[in-house]
Structure 1
Amino acid sequence: MNNNLASWTAHYVSLTRAAHQVLDGLPKIIDDHIVVGLTIGSSVSEISEKAEEFQSPIKNLARSLFILRSRFAEDKLKDSVERGIKHYVMLGAGLETFAYRQPQWAEQIKIIELDHPASQKLKRECLAGHQIDVPNNVTFCCVDFEKTTLDGALNNVNMDHHAPTFFSWLGVTQYLSAEAFYDMLKAFLRFPKGSAVVFSFVLVDELLDGLNLEAAQFFARKVAENGEPWLMRFTPSRLQEQLYQLGFAKVEHLRPQDIEQLYLAGRSDQLTAPIFEQFMYIEV
């Protein structure tokens, strides 16, 4: 990624999440009044005018992915807060809106948004343009994940480094080199026992078929064209094995069938569990 340019994916994810609020049925996977109109093309009228385009099979699948991975992370965060975690670090926060629609249970925690400088600049401009205040419990921290360690980035943040911390790492791992990916996992392990991470990962083509293979190939091309190529893809069983070998105490793979049962049962819209990108929850 060019640090002088805001992330194309950050804008695309935000736009797609806004489409969920406008086009999909009730109940919403995430109720997010902040995201609608936050960025170019995401107003109710703009989305409604392109409703047919947003509801193509690949875009329905992408919308499902972006909404579901955030919902899973927020559910796990709530569980973690209930057991005493006080810090929430969002790695590659993009235009994620959790901090600006935070529920009452989150007001007691410190929320730290880490991202590339240009993407963070875009976010601040979007928030200011819509007169959305930054809550007192939110801190921004600029970072290049390929050049700066997690420890180094967080050293610039006022937080208790001896307290368990919850991390979300969504839509990031596919853009990292193998070295940067495993260095980040090792950095998580240096945090106190009870720290936890939710992250997403893209499967290798060999495990995909049909629409999910088509979607993976489409987005791989699209992000590469926008200067953000995918570098890492995974086999879930092998990844789970590696996480245990590294020393994580708990590893949970949220499978597509788990998503269907937890979040999609009984829905009448076109949202469906993604296969090409999946989610892990790990604990130190």
Structure 2
Amino acid sequence: MEQRPRSQTAEIAAALRVWHTRLDDAPTIFDDRAVLPLLSPRMRQLVQPPPPLLAMQLRTMEGMHPELAALRGQTVTRARFAEDALDAAVDRGHRQIVLLGAGLDTTALRRPDLLARTTLLEVDQAPMQWWKRAHLPAKVANRMRFVAVDFARDRLAERLLDARIDPQTPLFANWMGCTYYLPPEAIGATLQGLAEVAAPGSELVADYWLPAGELSWRPRMLLRGVELALNTQQEPLLGLIRPDTLHRLAANTGWQVLEELDAPALRAHWLSERRDSLSVPAFARCLRLVRD
């Protein structure tokens, strides 16, 4: 029997990106069908295009209950936010890309142009990387650097230096889909560790989720449902955090917030003219930071 990836949340996020291309209207916000070979056989079966009648029923249900499409919308808008920021950073001359908590990120598969002219480092826990390397084409995997890190225990800067990152050259880091699984002290330690090897002008994109006390009842119930589901997968939410707390952690470790999009801004930027049911939950925010 083929072994599942160690992180089920990484696989679910990847499946939501694929499901966006199966169910939602064109144009796609983020097309990640490239991730299909990295999914387990069971998940590949689950993300097959639905029959037209089932697709219509799902769309009707999501139209009546927009929160059902909120996590899919959040997953693809955060991915698009990161991709746009990455392209802009590369245009400005950044040639080191660090994917923190890379999971089933497909930058190396989707963007051979970037793989050819940048150094791409994927940082994640070792079991996730073993799975991924076994499913990547060798010609792609051999062009990447894999950095095994436990964010709650390891010193990130040491691991990146061991992987021959150049601390004199600005980097671009993508830290999407990770902070909510880390306690605040680990979030701060990650920001500090990255800052120690990030030259001035380096950029970081990340997302985070607000605590339940900041929310009205409907998004609070959605967050509670997500929390219960993740507890069953033994990947609990540990890092729900207030904006002022995260901003303070960033400032204390040498990062300046350049841009922040809350849920209404994410909806306005990518969802306002769509006719499908995509939404973004009120607890979701995206950030772009620069190293002072």
TM-score bracket for the superposition, by shorter chain length: 0.7 to 0.9
204, 213, 217: which one aligns with 1:197: 204
SS at match of 2:136: helix
Shift of residue 138, structure 1, vs aligned partner: 2.0
| Contact 2:18/2:47 (8 A) holds in 1 | no
Shift of residue 159, structure 1, vs aligned partner: 3.0
* Alpha-carbon distance between aligned partners in 2 of 1:86 and 1:37, rounded to the nearest angstrom: 27
Shift of residue 246, structure 1, vs aligned partner: 4.2
152, 155, 171: which one aligns with 2:158: 152
How well do the aligned residues superpose, as a CA RMSD in angstroms? 2.5
* Alpha-carbon distance between aligned partners in 2 of 1:282 and 1:139, rounded to the nearest angstrom: 24
* Alpha-carbon distance between aligned partners in 1 of 2:102 and 2:290, rounded to the nearest angstrom: 20
Gaps spanning 5+ residues in structure 1: where?
none
* Alpha-carbon distance between aligned partners in 2 of 1:69 and 1:234, rounded to the nearest angstrom: 17
Larger CA deviation: 77-86 vs 231-240: 231-240
Question: Aligned letter for 1:33?
Answer: R
* Alpha-carbon distance between aligned partners in 2 of 1:77 and 1:112, rounded to the nearest angstrom: 14
TM-score, normalised via structure 2 length? 0.85
* Alpha-carbon distance between aligned partners in 2 of 1:90 and 1:105, rounded to the nearest angstrom: 13
By percentage of residues, which structure has more helix? 2
**1:124 aligned residue:** 133
| Contact 1:243/1:251 (8 A) holds in 2 | no
The count of residues paired between Structure 1 and Structure 2 equals: 278
TM-score, normalised via structure 1 length? 0.88
| Contact 2:78/2:176 (8 A) holds in 1 | yes
141, 150, 172: which one aligns with 1:166: 172
| Contact 1:37/1:43 (8 A) holds in 2 | no
Shift of residue 210, structure 1, vs aligned partner: 4.2
Structure 1 residues 117 and 133: alpha-carbon distance in aligned structure 2, compared to 1, 3 A threshold: same
**2:50 aligned residue:** 48
67, 71, 74: which one aligns with 1:65: 74
* Alpha-carbon distance between aligned partners in 1 of 2:16 and 2:47, rounded to the nearest angstrom: 14
216, 220, 225: which one aligns with 2:227: 220
Question: Aligned letter for 2:7?
Answer: S
| Contact 2:184/2:241 (8 A) holds in 1 | no
SS at match of 2:147: strand
Verify: 1:19 aligned to 2:26, yes or no.
no
**2:109 aligned residue:** 100
Deviations 1:179-214, CA, capped at 9 Å, x for gaps: 211111222332210011111111010111244222
Shift of residue 169, structure 1, vs aligned partner: 0.8
Question: Aligned letter for 1:208?
Answer: L
Question: Aligned letter for 1:46?
Answer: Q
Gaps spanning 5+ residues in structure 2: where?
none
110, 119, 124: which one aligns with 1:115: 124
